[in-house]
Amino acid sequence: MIILGLSAYYHDSAAVIIENETIIAAAQEERFTRKKQDSRFPEKAINYCLSAAGIGLDKVDRIVFYDKPFIKFERLLETYIAEVPRGLLSFWVAIPLWIKEKLFLKDSLLKEFAKLSGMSKAEIHDKILFSEHHQSHAASAFYPSPFQDAAIVTLDGVGEWTTTSIAYGNGNDIKILKEIKFPHSLGLLYSAFTYYTGFKVNSGEYKVMGLAPYGEPIYVDQIKKHLIDIKKDGSFRLNMKYFNYATGLTMTNNAFHKLFGSPPRKSESIVTQKEMDLARSIQVVTEEIMIKIAKYAKDITGSKNLCLAGGVALNCVGNGEILRSKLFDNIWIQPAAGDAGGALGAAYAAYYMEYDHARTISPSERDKMQGAFLGPANTPEEIKQTLDKYHAVYEEVTDESVLLKTVAVALDEGKVVGWHQGRMEFGPRALGGRSILGDARSPAMQKKMNLKIKYRESFRPFAPSVLAEDVSAYFQLDVPSPYMLLVAPVQIPIRIPLSKDESGLFGIDKLNVPKSTIPAVTHVDYSARVQTIHKDTNPRYYKLIEAFKKISKCSVIVNTSFNVRGEPIVCSPQDSYTCFMRTEMDMLVIENFILYKDKQPEYTETSNWQNEFELD
């Protein structure tokens, strides 16, 4: 049975195609259209999925959309009615959009698919199914996991009504056990602080998480006293007196601003200690809720395994805390935990729940995600053609060991390398398929990469890639973290103790003090967002770090996504080459082709790229 899963029309459109239990392909539309978190119908991602499967739409048995628009509309109407006359402005803006487009989603899908495939709407009609938003998340967390049974926790902003759910997955079935409903939402609470600290809602949340270690948790009591009532089982209620998202066009209102003593920080203005303290405080509260919910999930399911999905599951600091709480023997987190992953969940939900197919778990398999390398790859001919188009100067190195040694030497010399290999990743993290790499031992690397390569805020940390078997030598982590979704403390022996003066530093001043022998990936609180590299899912990247280890005696390198701020991660050789030429990267490696920056012809920019990518 071939099923196409879709997420679209909200943010981060994506398409996934599965054949029985195997994921054939998965990709986000933004990677093709080059518009970050593109929400349009994912035409290009669908076309890619169909071509990867080698079929036309006529061979697809079912198309499953990741949420149910009627129930969302019901939530909107009931919220407005409950709050009337507040929300009039929001109503006036939102309802025409719904009446004009979103309410007729099935018809829109039919039209788009008919246009894309040349089939008639009638032929496509019976193929289309809808899955509930949190059911899609739960399915994306459980079905690809390596567990026969598991507690499933989904946490996000909001789907139809649900914002948080606990479910139990066993075999091919998922039963939702508990739900928290809109407007009480952990994701929206976090987004409210993202908004208030001057970052963009829906994309700046990970900046808040990265900013948190610079601050002190001085607002925790205030948050718990005024904004949220947390129960012992992790359920919570928000005090809507302080929030505007249910009926207004902002996340927070004047009562919230008065509580914290000022209006929201203006975007791109200086980040002060106050924002850092707020970030730390909301992070502490979030972790407390995540752990309480996990504990309750354990109590009511009795399972020793936990699966996580939903946007909040990208909070890898919170995930690390759940891991260290030892509530569960095993944790598996969907790498595309946000809405893009809902497309995968929707497809799996139909396959297992609607059509009741048996679920098999292969003991040799890590999980069904194939390392999240589910996107397009490029042939040597394609790469050559692109590079020739730009008159690029390149070397083709077919001997893999020579290629890897060359890259390893460059990394050891402090060079920054663009690394474009194999299939593109599915989900928000670059995992060694479309990555920018650097030497984690270099104290100057974080600053260089932030300001000269990524053109982003200097406070933002970088993540380490480490050979799986060496992880415990560097980090207090003894489980695989292939998707960079667990934060762990750096091992004490490799930490550099702070001098008396350095210990007294506050906030952003902490940034320039090297904290360990791998300073480029050690955050100010001695933590790191670890990615373990495994031979089976990521062989070439594994061999590269092995080659680097041979030269440097260090099996950790910096891995950041191959893009500049506001740009979707690169997809094609053209994206990689242009990103390489626009930044101060030293070397680009696309499959077997090596390019050195100093050998390239002068690059003439054809567009104003700094305006092309809206800042995130």
| Site residues (vs other proteins, CB under 8 A) | 9-11, 39, 70-72, 74, 76-78, 81, 90, 93-97, 99-104, 106-107, 157-158, 182-183, 188, 191, 201-202, 245-246, 248-251
Nearer residue to other proteins within complex by CB, 39 or 273: 39
Among 207, 213, 183, 185, which Cα is nearest to 194's?
A: 207
Q: What amino acid occupies position 370?
A: Q
Nearest to 216 by CA among 512, 505, 462: 505
160 vs 586, beta carbon nearer other proteins: 160
Q: Per 3-state DSSP, what percentage of the chain is helix, strand, and coil (rounded to 5)?
A: 45, 20, 40
Cα 28 to Cα 14: distance, rounded to the nearest angstrom: 4
With respect to other proteins, which residue has the nearer C-beta, 90 or 516?
90
Tell me the pairing of strands 527-533 and 587-590.
unpaired
- Inter-residue contact 451 to 435 (CB < 8 Å): no
**CA 210 centroid distance within chain:** 14
Provide the minimum distance between the beta carbon of 97 and other proteins in the complex, in angstroms, as a whole number: 5
Structure-token pair, residue 353 = 């729940």
SS3 127: coil
The answer to whether 520 and 441 have CB atoms below 8 angstroms apart is yes
CB of 158 to other proteins, least distance (A): 6
DSSP state letters, 467-516: EGGGHHHHBS--S--TTS-EEEEBPGGGBPPPPHHHHT--GGGGGGS--B
Nearer Cβ to other proteins, position 156 or 575? 156
Structural contact between residues 57 and 387, judged by C-beta atoms closer than 8 angstroms = no
Would you say 185 and 238 are in contact if contact means Cβ atoms under 8 Å apart? yes
Q: Shortest approach of other proteins to residue 608 CB, angstroms?
A: 23
CB of 190 to other proteins, least distance (A): 11
Closest to other proteins by CB, 109 vs 487, is 109
User: Least distance to other proteins from the beta carbon of 257, Å?
Assistant: 17
Q: Count of CB atoms within 10 A of residue 396's CB? A: 13
User: Which residue type occupies 371?
Assistant: G
C-alpha–C-alpha distance, residues 344 and 12, integer Å: 13
Which residues neighbour 21 within 8 Å (Cβ) at sequence distance 6 or greater? 351, 357, 359, 360, 368
Round to whole Å and give the CA distance between 219 and 212: 12
Residues in the chain: 616
Question: Measured from the CB atom, is 185 or 370 closer to other proteins?
Answer: 185
Query: Smaller CB distance to other proteins: residue 282 or 416?
Result: 282
**Smallest separation (angstroms) from other proteins to the CB of 163:** 10
Q: Give the nearest distance from C-beta 428 to other proteins in angstroms.
A: 17
Give least dist CB 110 to other proteins, A.
10
Q: Least distance (Å) from other proteins to the CB of residue 402? A: 50
Q: Which residue number, 157 or 507, has a Cβ lying nearer to other proteins?
A: 157
Residue 7 vs 319, nearer CB to other proteins: 7
Q: How far is the CB of 47 from other proteins (least distance, A)?
A: 24
CB nearer to other proteins: pick between 236 and 245:
245
- Please classify residue 415 by burial: count the beta carbons closer than 10 Å to its beta carbon, then call 0-12 exposed, 13-18 middle and 19+ buried: middle
User: Rounded to an integer, what distance in angstroms lies between the CA atom of residue 400 and that of residue 539?
Assistant: 12
